[in-house]
């Protein structure tokens, strides 16, 4: 089993490569990385093209939901996007918060940060900025954000509890998040669990849905609710890289499921910067 740091380096390398690709190349694979499928579409992503503020050059086809659609952003809000990539969700958020709002994208891949900054500069978006850093230790002060969004990113981070604790720290009291992510119901086959390449492709880094929701509750959030849920179907030509024919048949029998969920939760109005005992203070 690889260490947390080794897994993070795998993700950083793969998403550095993805940053240099176009959307069509990324959509030919699982979450832009991992085993390439002959069925040329991304098995996770949803269509952003109808959303106001969409810019095709910033869309690498890497998401698993539409968190900005559910995020209840208002004009003047400060929004933080975790795993901001080339800036897709940030630019949609900018449209929602207007000129008086501010959007901060956080990504730990230097190539993604560079690409996002170029995309923002070309469009003259002076109230959008991108900061390089880990999302479990954001380069952002406490009690800053009204809203935090993220799209198919937390499942790539081994220390998910650390991410939720830092989200709690960065949100203002009464602020909220809307996060789309990949979760499991039932045990993932060992071939998928162990493969580092599939980890960078989003699936093997996922945890049980019940555990995911408990992490949110344990971090001190209230009003926790699933806004949207959909099954993710992995094409056979991807599964065949990791599973035998018999394992594939068992996996597709319905006993185990991989789902995309969009989750909403709030930081209590009376909250401090950190939840006591969370380890984030």
Average pLDDT over residues 153-179: 94
> Per residue in 172-202, pLDDT tens?
999 999 999 888 888 777 776 665 455 445 5
Structure confidence by residue, pLDDT tens digits, 55-99: 555 555 555 666 788 899 999 999 999 998 888 889 999 999 999
User: Which positions ≥6 away from 46 have C-beta within 8 Å?
Assistant: 63, 64, 65, 66
Beta-bridge partners for 147: 79, 176
Sign of the four-CA dihedral 80, 83, 89, 95? positive
pLDDT band at 270 (very low <50, low <70, confident <90, very high): confident
Q: Quick one: which of 85, 92, 90 has its CA closest to 33?
A: 85
Torsional class of 81: left (φ above 0), alpha (ψ -120 to 50), beta (otherwise): beta
pLDDT at res. 64:
62
Say if residue 134's pLDDT is above 50. yes
More confident residue, 24 or 69: 69
- pTM for the complete prediction? 0.79
pLDDT band for 224, please (50, 70, 90 cuts).
very high
pLDDT digits (tens, 9 = 90+) for 90-100: 999 999 999 99
Q: Provide mean pLDDT across the span 255-270.
A: 88
Say if residue 31's pLDDT is above 60: no
**Mean pLDDT, residues 102-114 taken together:** 92
pLDDT at 52: 62
In which band, very low, low, confident or very high, does the pLDDT at 38 lie, cut at 50, 70 and 90?
A: very low
- In whole angstroms, give the CA distance from residue 203 to residue 181: 10
24-33, 86-95, 128-137, 169-178: the lowest-pLDDT one: 24-33
Q: What's the chain's average pLDDT?
A: 78
Reported residue count of the chain is 281
Q: So what's the pLDDT on residue 149? A: 95
β-strand pairing of 78-82 with 222-231: unpaired
Question: What stretches of 87-243 show up as alpha helix (H) in DSSP?
Answer: 88-97, 110-123, 160-170, 190-194, 196-200, 209-218, 236-239
The residue written with tokens 């991410």 in the block is 163
């Amino acid at each position: 089993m690889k260490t947390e740091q080794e897994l993070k380096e795998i993700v950083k390398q793969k998403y550095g490569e993805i940053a240099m690709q176009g959307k069509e190349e990324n959509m030919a694979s699982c979450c832009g990385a991992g085993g390439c499928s002959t069925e040329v579409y991304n098995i996770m992503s949803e269509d952003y093209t109808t959303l106001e503020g969409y810019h095709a050059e910033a869309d690498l086809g890497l998401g698993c939901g539409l968190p900005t659609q559910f995020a209840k952003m208002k004009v003047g809000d400060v929004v933080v996007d975790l795993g901001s990539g080339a800036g897709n969700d940030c630019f949609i958020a900018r449209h929602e918060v207007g000129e008086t709002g501010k959007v901060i994208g956080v990504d730990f891949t230097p190539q993604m940060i560079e690409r996002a900054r170029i995309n923002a500069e070309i469009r003259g978006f002076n109230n959008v900025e991108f900061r390089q850093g880990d999302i479990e230790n954001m380069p952002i002060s406490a009690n800053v954000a009204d809203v935090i969004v993220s799209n198919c990113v937390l499942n790539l981070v081994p220390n998910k509890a650390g991410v939720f604790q830092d989200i709690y720290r960065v949100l203002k009291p009464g602020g909220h998040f809307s996060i789309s992510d990949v979760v499991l119901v039932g045990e993932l086959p060992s071939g998928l669990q162990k493969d580092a390449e599939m980890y960078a492709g989003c699936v093997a880094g996922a945890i049980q849905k019940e555990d995911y929701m408990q992490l949110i509750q344990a971090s001190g959030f209230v009003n926790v609710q699933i806004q949207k849920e959909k099954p993710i179907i992995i094409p056979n030509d991807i599964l065949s890289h990791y599973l035998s024919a018999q394992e594939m048949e068992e996996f597709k029998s319905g006993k185990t499921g991989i789902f995309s969920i969009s989750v909403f939760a709030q930081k209590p109005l009376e909250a401090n910067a950190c939840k006591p005992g969370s380890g984030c203070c």
